Amino acid sequence: MDRAQVQKELEALAAEGKPAPVPEEKVEVEKEEQASEQEETAPEEEQGKDKNKKKGEEEEEKPRENGVLVLDHRARGAHLDAQLNGDQVVAAAEIMRRAGLSVEAVTGVDWLKENKFEVIYDYALYIAGEDLYRVVVRALIDRDNPDIPTISGVFSGANWHERETWDLLGINFTGHPQLTRFLLPEDADFHPLRKDFKP
Partner 1 sequence: MSRLAQSQYHETFDINLGPQHPATHGVLRVKLTMDGEYIVKAEPVLGYIHRMHEKMGENRTWAKFLPNPSRMDYLSAMSYNHGHVALVERAAGIEVPERAEYLRVIMVELNRVQSHLLWFGAFLLDLGGFTPLLYAFDDRERILDLLESVTGSRLTYCYFRFGGVYNDLDDEESFKTGTKEFIARLRSRMPMYHNLVTKNIILRKRLEGIGPVSADMCRRYGATGPVLRGSGVQFDIRKNEPYSAYPDFDFDIPVYEEGDSMARYMVRMDEIEQSMRIIEQALDKLPEGPVKAEKVPKMIKPPKNDYYFAVEAARGTFSLRAVSDGTNTPYRLKIRSPTYSNLSLFEEASKGMLLADALAFMGSLDLVIPEIDR
Counting contacts by CB under 8 A, is residue 20 touching partner 1?
A: no
State the Cα–Cα distance between residues 6 and 95, nearest whole angstrom. 7
The long-range contacts involving 171-179, CB below 8 angstroms and separated by at least 24 positions, are 171/108, 171/117, 171/119, 171/141, 171/146, 172/146, 172/147, 172/148, 173/148, 173/149, 174/147, 174/148, 174/149, 174/150, 175/149, 175/150, 176/150, 176/152, 177/152
- Contact residue for partner 1 among 23, 43, 56, 129 (CB under 8 A): 129
Residue of 150, 89, 139 lying closest to 116 (CA atoms): 139
Give the span between the Cα atoms of 73 and 80, in whole angstroms. 9
In the complex, the smallest distance separating the C-beta of residue 127 from partner 1, rounded to whole angstroms, is: 7
Q: Please choose, out of 3-11, 19-27, 29-37, 149-157, the segment that lies near partner 1 by the rule CB under 8 A.
A: 149-157
Binders of partner 1 in range 65-124 (CB under 8 A): 74-78, 100, 102-105, 107, 109-110, 120, 122, 124
Among 1, 12, 27, 132, binds partner 1 (CB under 8 A): 132
One residue of 116, 134, 143, 176 binding partner 1 per CB under 8 A: 134
**190 part of the interface to partner 1, by CB under 8 A:** no
Rounded distance between C-alpha atoms, residue 143 and residue 108, angstroms: 11
- Residue 177 sits in the site that holds partner 1 (CB under 8 A): no
| Interface residues toward partner 1, by CB under 8 A | 45, 48-52, 74-78, 100, 102-105, 107, 109-110, 120, 122, 124, 126-129, 131-132, 134, 136, 155-157, 159-161, 168, 181-185, 192-193
